[in-house]
Amino acid sequence: KSTLYDFPGSTCIRWYKDALQEMGFLGRIGACHLDVFSRFPLTTMKISCRLFSYLQFPKVTQCLILQLRGTGRQIGQFRSLTSDPVTTTALSDSEVFGKFYPRDHYTNVTSKILSKVGRNLHNQRNHPLWLIKERIKDYFYRNYLNRIGNPLFSAYDNLSPVVTIEQNFDSLLIPPNHLSRKKGDNFFLNETHMLRAHTSAHQRDLIRAGLDAFLIIGDVYRRDEVDSSHYPVFHQMEGVRLFSKYELFTNVQNGEDLCIFEKGYRSQHKQESHTLEAVKLVEFNLKQTLNKVMTHLFGEGLEIRWVDCYFPFTHPSFEMEIKFQGEWMEVLGCGVMEQQLVNSAGAQDRIGYAFGLGLERLAMILYSIPDIRLFWSEDERFSKQFQVAHVDQKVSFQPLSKYPMLTNDISFWIPPEGYEENDFYDLVRNIAGDLVEKVNLIDKFVHAKTKRVSHCYRITYRHMERTLTQDEVSLTHQAIQRATVQNLGVEGRF
C-alpha cells in the first residue's frame, strides 16, 4: 500500500529528507524508491509504506506535514491508494464509505481493522454466517405474520458500522463509568464516533422510525484477547419486538382489565413502571420465541436452560444456554427492554423485549468450526463446504488439515501506569494479522527490589493455508518487538 501526497511547488523532496532526518530515518533515503513527477503547479510524491513499520509511518508523515505548515505551504491532496471502502489519511482523516472522520487524541482504530469494514461476511452468499443469518431470518418471516399475512419482523443487514458514542452507549442507558466504555475495549474513530460494539446501537433509531418488530444483522468491533474463539470483528443479530396493550392482552381472559404500566417499585422480577402481568407475558413470549429459534437451528430434543443476568438496557435480563455435545454453552442474551429506552424512542405506550446473539458462536457450535479466523479465509476447501442448494440443508463440516505452528515468546517490563493488555493484542494483530493463532500471557514476574512488573507472552503463529517458515516468523516477531517498545512504553527483555 502506498500513499500519495500532492504538494505545491517542487521542493517536497528536500522537505521529505528533512522529515526523515528529524525522525532518524535518513539512512533509508537511498532505498526509498520515491516516485516523483511534476504536474505543474503540483508535485506528487508516492511513499511506500513498506519502508517503515505501520507505527513509524504516521510519525514520518506527520513530521512532513508540520514542516510544510511551518513554511506556510498547504497540502493539496492527502490520500491512500487502496481498493478498500476505507482509507486512512495518516493523522488527518479516516474515510469510511465516503465520509471523513477527523482523527484526534481518542483515535485508536488501525488500518488493519478498517480494512475489514465493508467485507460484510454475513451478506456473502453461502458463507456460513450468511447461512445462519438466513435460517434465523427465514424462521421469523414464516412464523411471525401480521394480520394481513405479511412478515411481522423486518430485517436490516446493511446499516453502517460507524455510530456515535451516544448511539453506542448513552442511548442504551450505559452508565458513564461502565467498563464497556473503556477505550481499551473499543475502536474509536475519534472522541465522537466509533465502530459499533454491538448492533444494539441502532435500536432507538429504528424504534423512532416507527418499527415495532425488527432484526438487525451486522459486523461489530471490540478489542479482545487473541485466541481461536475471539476476533476483533464479529457479527451479531439483534431482535426487538414491542407490544401495545391490545397485542399483549388480546388472548388473555379479561385482558381488557389488565394494564402494561403502573407507578410501582423495581424488583428482581420487573421495572418500577411495569405491571407484573405485563412483564411475565413479555418474558414468556420472548423465551418461547427463542426456544423455537434454537430448536429450528439445532433440531428437536435440544436441552435449553435460562440463567438470570444483568444488562444495562434490559430488566429482567437472561442468558440462554444450550446443551450441545454434552456441554452447556451460552448462546445469547436478552430481556425486557428498559422502559426509559423505549420512551426515549417515542413509544411510550409500548413494552418490549430485545435479544442479541453472535453468528460466529452459533456457526462454530453448529458446524464444529475450530478457529474463528476461518470465517475470513478464502481457502476453497473451507468455502466449498457451504455451497448448499437451500439454507436449511445439513452441512457436515470436514476440518481442514492444520499446518504446523511456530511459537515465539516476548517479555518486557511494563510501565507503572497506562499499559493495557488489549493494546498489546491489538498491536500484534496489526503487525502479524491472521498469521497469529493465539497470544497467551504465560508468566508475570515482580522484581523483589524494584517492584517492576514483567510480562511474558507466548505468540503462536500458524497460517491457515500454508506452512510458515521460521525466517518469516522471525521477521514478523522482530517487528512486534520493535513496535512494542516504541509504542507501548515498555522496556524489552529480548
Mean pLDDT by 10 residues, the chain (494 residues): 40 46 42 37 45 46 46 40 42 84 93 94 96 97 94 97 97 93 94 97 97 98 92 97 95 88 96 97 97 94 94 96 88 97 97 97 93 92 92 88 92 94 94 94 95 96 92 96 95 93
* Contacts by residues 285-294 (CB-CB < 8 Å, ≥ 24 positions apart): 285/241, 285/243, 285/353, 286/241, 286/334, 286/335, 286/336, 286/353, 286/355, 287/318, 290/320, 290/332, 290/334, 290/355, 292/139, 292/143, 293/136, 293/139, 293/140, 294/320, 294/322, 294/331
- Evaluate whether 94-386 and 406-492 have a shared fold: no
Look at residue 190 in the predicted model and tell me its pLDDT.
95
User: Is this prediction's pTM over 0.85?
Assistant: no
State which amino acid sits at residue 380. Answer: E
Reference 287, options 305, 309, 267; nearest CA is 305
In this structure, which CATH number among 3.40.50.2300, 3.10.20.30, 3.40.30.10, 3.30.930.10 belongs to the domain 94-386?
Answer: 3.30.930.10
Kindly indicate whether the domain formed by 406-492 is annotated with CATH number 3.30.70.380: yes
pLDDT, residue 80, reads 39
Kindly tell me the burial class for residue 85, based on how many C-beta atoms sit within 10 Å of its own C-beta (0-12, 13-18, 19 or more): middle
Residue ranges covered by each domain of the chain: 94-386, 406-492
In angstroms, the CA 305 to CA 315 distance is: 18
Give me the pLDDT at residue 131, please: 97
Cell of residue 174, nine digits: 450505559
Q: Which residue has the cell 455451497?
A: 387
* Residue 171 DSSP SS3: helix
DSSP 244: -
Which residue's entry shows cell 515482580? 446
* CA-based nearest residue to 165, from 130, 196, 199, 128: 196
